[in-house]
Amino acid sequence: MRAADLLIRCLENEGVKYMFGVPGEENLDVMDALLSSNIEFITTRHETGAAFMAGIMGRLTGKPGVCLSTLGPGATNMLTGVADGNMDRTPLVAITGQAGLDRLHKESHQAYDLISMYRPVTKWNATVSTPDTIPEIVRKAFMISATAKPGATHIDLPEDVAGKEVEGLSPLKITELKNGEASETNLNEGAAIINKAKRPLILVGNGVTRTNSSEELAAFAEKIQTPVTATFMGKGAFPASHPLSIDSVGISGKDYINCALEKTDLIIAVGYDMTEIPPTRFNPEGKIPVLHIDTLNAEVDAHYPVVCNIVGDIATNLKALMEKIEKRNEPVEFTEEIRKEVLEEFNQFESDNHFPLKPQKIIYDLRKVMGEEDIVISDVGAHKMWIARMYPTYKPNTCLISNGLASMGISVPGAIAAKLVHPERNVVAVIGDGAFLMQGCAELETAVRLKLPIVILLWRDNGYGLIEWKQENQFHRPSHIKFGNPDFVQLAESFGAKGMRVNKAEELESTIEEALKQNVPVVIDCPVDYSENVKLTERLNNLKCD
């Protein structure tokens, strides 16, 4: 048995069903070993896309997704997707081919020190220097990747090691590690702080979804009748339909949530990661005390003044706190008012027929068509801000937003992974024309080849809309953000997908409905009017809080 065969056996032992990547010279033995494996290798068109797929698969399943590249340019291509997964706290194991050990000590073709390169963007990484270390390295990579807080790990496999013969080695037994309950002292302290607060507010991060703590969070919020706001990545962890749910937090500048924060005397942060949104956005003066409930202690930040850390299993600790906190009979005073404002803004665009379409109208029609269990994956761009702010989400992991590294191009690869995990659900990738030609277009071929009926809702404005929004806000003029586009309908059909175009606002809802009925990938070319971006900023800047 080759070392590469042992590696694949270890991956099978970890429950890996899919591996995403691009074949290369330095991973020849691994690719050959996959031929006799039950792991399905998904050949992607770019290594970044492979890492995006692995990251979204890890996010949806809770188990590390796996991506593979060769050395040199393959490894550097994959680096961005690995960094994205690591900062988004998604479990992911990246495997890179490497030059043989006999030439790593000197200048050599395509050879870089990948361990040093990947170290800043992973939780842990290692080189397989001898075949007998493979079982330990693989087990450690998966264990570290999946445990609190999840993230990326990296295995570097030199080509000469991969081809060596090994005997008598087998995968290691998997031992599940769990977080425990916080100390009684911490729980009592946290409960006392909550009971003393007059106007607390719960800030929900992606950690609630990662730890399957949504039910406990809902019961906790209901007992103290506290309004709940979510980060972009926390959307769905607390249902938007709940009467205690208020606006998402994260958009630059002022928003409805700021009115609540001006009156709040305690932020209860549950499963919050600072990579999702800097504390300066919701605690600009650093005066609001924070009760931190998470799997790890809080990061140190002047705008995140933690008065108590409650660390351990989130669901367990929420249950323990519920036994100690006092029940409140009325919602915190500002909850209903802010919720009313949010709902009114969402509903006012139901019959808007402006063309090109306003972002609010696109989101309204998309939400109307999608079921509560269906999955929307947002790319990075101006559309991300609108989705995060206005797309009501009712279930965990049904509105996926990358807001750690926030790398453009994640939505189409992510939709492919989501459809593999949940073939029974509708999956829509929302993407701008900039990100589509940067990354999404290439992986459209992958979706066609795999016969995955995903829908790509492409917001077309012929420019980098988010950057223009920032430029207009800061300098009142754009700079170098416009570009040309192909005919996206013809482009989609040239891949073997189906292309559709929205020609007036009244067509969007029916177009999405028709797209979801297809048995092939569909690209919907939807023109968008991003003049609404600056209008939103101006309106929110003039927002008056009573």
Domains of the chain by residue range: 3-162, 184-334, 348-541
Start-end of H helices in 299-432: 314-322, 335-347, 359-369, 382-390, 411-421
Query: What pTM value is reported for the model?
Result: 0.96
How far is C-alpha 280 from the geometric centre of its chain's CA atoms? 21
Per-residue pLDDT at 342? 85
Instruction: For residue 465, give the nearest of 380, 352, 355 by alpha carbon.
Output: 380
- The third-level CATH classification (topology) of the domain covering 3-162 is Rossmann fold (3.40.50)
Q: Give the chain's residues under pLDDT 50.
A: none
* pLDDT value of residue 315: 97
Instruction: Indicate the residue type of 213.
Output: S
What average pLDDT does the structure give for the chain? 94
How confident is the model over 284-336, as pLDDT tens digits? 999 999 999 999 999 999 999 999 999 999 999 999 999 999 999 999 888 88
Give pLDDT, residue 107: 80
The candidate with the shortest Cα–Cα distance to 73, out of 112, 99, 105, 17, is: 112
Q: What is the CATH number of domain 348-541?
A: 3.40.50.970
Q: Give the integer Cα–Cα distance in Å for 457 and 464.
A: 16
DSSP code string of 397-441: TSEEE--SS--TT-HHHHHHHHHHH-TTS-EEEEEEHHHIIIIIH
Do 184-334 and 348-541 show the same overall fold?
Answer: yes
Neighbour order of strands in the sheet with 200-204: 228-230, 200-204, 266-270, 290-294, 306-311
Give the per-residue pLDDT at 296.
Answer: 94
- Tokens at residue 115, please? 């361990």
Buried b (16+ CB within 10 A) or exposed e, 357-388: bbbbbbbbbbbebbeeebbbbbbbbbbbbbbb
CATH for 184-334 is: 3.40.50.1220
Q: Which two tokens stand for residue 458?
A: 């492409």
- From CA 103, how far away is CA 182, in angstroms rounded? 50
Q: Is 350 exposed, middle or buried (0-12, 13-18, 19+ CB in 10 A)?
A: exposed
